[in-house]
Amino acid sequence: MNGPTAAIDTLAFGGNGVSRVNGKVCFVPFSCPGDEVRLAITSEKRSYCIARITEIVTPSPSRVTPPCPVFGTCGGCSWQHIDYPQQLQAKRQILVEALWRGARVPDECVGPALPSPDPYGYRSRVQFKVQGTAGRLRIGFYRNNSHQVEDIGSGCAIAVPVVNSTLAVLRVVLDSCPDVSSISQVSVDSAEQGVIAVITYSGRDVSAVSDYFRKRCAELQPLTGLYLQTGRKPLLKLFGDNQLSYDLPQAAPEAPACRLTYQPGGFSQVNRPQNRVILDIVRRMACFEDTAHVLDLYCGNGNFSLPIAGEVARVTGIEEHAGSIVSAEANRAANGIGNVEFICADAVSGLKELVARGCRFDTIIIDPPRAGAAEVVTELFRLNPSRIIYVSCDPSTLARDCGLLAGSGYTVRESVPVDMFPQTYHLESVTLLQKQ
């Protein structure tokens, strides 16, 4: 029997298209706004259902042919079948709806989504799953709703070219590696200077596996460094560099670029051009003055703290990950910056320390993990900044936190979606809140 037909209206955070079937909201994977589709219901709840497409009756004008041969099976991307302008429109609408639900932010406060210069070939860090034995090796990503690895063959469509060329040489070396069945993941991280891979190994013969890779290091170009991750132990260096680096501009055109490094396994944004775009937005929203004191919460390796230091009187950065603080301090020294202080502490403890000191800040920049910053809102109130600039990777937690901040008189003046992750539903945003 034929299933119901439906028109796909919008896209939801999570990647699914949205329609209505029998009066319920219906989420449809791999659909596109403007599609007319025939469906088979796969899961039904009280207020919504989930369905798969059995037939595309009329394709949307925004539907395109995905360039990746494993799209739809590989669990990595969800929107390669949707043209890029439609993706940008959908991401803005997702942010608009989240901010309205969570903090009653009107539509006109949300700007257009800023496109990535490269909708493909942009991702500088990729974690590849590994599965199999010598001669029967699969390297790629988990299939949808599975822990089976879908092999990606010649590479990943959204990865920068050097990541794919690195994967190609790693594939050859891994194929004859002793105890390869105990290798579950290979992470390849490429910066403007350096390409480093981290191999996750759960077997018992660390010595033999380490020796094997050291002997094959000449075959692993363009890698500049290779590490082994075994459980919760520190990374074991097999050969090469111990850091990656990239440049960010300072505000004055004549000033040299600020060179920032980070350690293997450390965090950095995966879309380098869009990282610069976010820094530009932060500068514009902050309207820095040379007397300003700025707090950079969740500061990482100094990604915002150090490039802006020349524009203000003082910057304080707080970060709980010790490795990131090591990198931040090294970056501060290497760039000859004297007006930045870094504190290694979790966000709540670091803020309490600043409150106890009687510190005050004109601007606070927060760039929390996906879970958001609800835990620090009370301490932010005590520091009483005139503006908060919130860099978010999750619209729902951003909206929740903006609602909490509104309770103490902070109003969202502007929010800018930035497409850091084309071909996926994920989005970054930068939001300005000001004290009323």
Q: What is the pLDDT of residues 343-376, one digit of tens each?
A: 999 999 999 999 999 999 999 999 999 999 999 9
* 227 in Cβ contact with 235 (< 8 Å): yes
Element (H, E) at 364: strand 363-366
Mean per-residue pLDDT for 255-284? 96
pLDDT for the residue numbered 48? 95
For the chain, domains (ranges, CATH) are 5-63 (2.40.50.140), 89-117+245-435 (3.40.50.150), 125-244 (2.40.50.1070)
pLDDT for the residue numbered 241? 93
Mean per-residue pLDDT for 197-226? 96
pLDDT band per the 50, 70, 90 thresholds, residue 134: low
Phi, psi torsion values for 293, nearest 5 degrees: -110, 130
Whole-angstrom distance, CA of residue 374 vs CA of residue 386:
19
Angle ∠(342,372,117) on CA atoms, nearest 5: 85
- Cα 343 from chain centroid? 24
Judge whether residue 133 has pLDDT over 80: no
Has 74 been annotated as catalytic? no
pLDDT for the residue numbered 220? 96
pLDDT for the residue numbered 145? 85
pLDDT for the residue numbered 132? 87
pLDDT, tens digit (0-9, with 9 covering 90-100), for 170-203: 999 999 998 999 999 999 999 999 999 999 999 9
Give the chain's largest Cα–Cα span: 73
Whole-angstrom distance, CA of residue 78 vs CA of residue 29:
8
pLDDT band per the 50, 70, 90 thresholds, residue 2: confident
pLDDT for the residue numbered 285? 98
One of 177, 299, 393, 402 is an active-site residue; which one? Answer: 393
Phi, psi torsion values for 170, nearest 5 degrees: -65, -35
* 108 in Cβ contact with 96 (< 8 Å): no
Judge whether residue 408 has pLDDT over 90: no
Unique residue bearing structure tokens 């071909």: 423
Q: What is the mean pLDDT of the chain?
A: 96
Mean per-residue pLDDT for 134-150? 90
pLDDT, tens digit (0-9, with 9 covering 90-100), for 91-112: 999 999 999 999 999 999 999 9
Judge whether residue 429 has pLDDT over 60: yes
pLDDT band per the 50, 70, 90 thresholds, residue 64: very high
What pTM was estimated for this model as a whole? 0.95
Judge whether residue 226 has pLDDT over 70: yes
pLDDT for the residue numbered 130? 97
Judge whether residue 1 has pLDDT over 70: no
